[in-house]
Amino acid sequence: MANLDAFFGEWELERQIRHHDGGIARFEGTALWVPKGMGALYIERGTLVMPQARYHSERRYLWDRALRVCFEDGRFFHQVPAEGGQAEHRCPPDTYAVFYDFGAWPVWTTRWHVSGPRKDYVMQSRYVAAAAPKP
């Protein structure tokens, strides 16, 4: 279903982060895929709202045509399943498990469960194509 060309452009992005201890944060911003070489540069920008403060947040990843996602320095992060589904990244001692849902394209979601000795949270993100009508 998904191929790299389908991601190009700007997406509205909403995210909720629920920590095991009950803390909740949210992120509101945009995700932008722009062509770079044979792949794409992913740029996420927005505001992270936590109970105690608000922060400007930005992150970048590199995507290739096979939907492999790498950190900006080129280290492999994870493989996006083209039909949706599960993927994982291990960063010992932590594990990052994700589920991609493309079933309502051009609205799609990810759900990350991050666990480890000092990490335990679920992060749900919703992407809506900037040109798509809002539900």
Per-residue pLDDT tens digits for 62-82? 999 999 999 999 999 999 999
Specify the pLDDT at position 2: 72
Bridge partner residues of 44 (DSSP): 31, 59
What is the per-residue pLDDT for 1? Answer: 57
Contact 50, 58 (CB under 8 A): no
pTM (2 d.p.): 0.92
Question: Percentage of residues in the chain with pLDDT exceeding 70?
Answer: 96
Residues 6 or more apart from 133 whose CB is under 8 A from it?
none
Q: How far from 63 is each of 33, 34, 37, 55, CA to CA, in Å?
A: 9, 10, 10, 26
Query: Using one digit for the tens of pLDDT, what is the confidence trace for 110-133?
Result: 999 999 998 999 999 999 998 654
Average pLDDT along the chain: 94
Which one, of 27, 25, 14, lies nearest residue 56 by Cα? 27
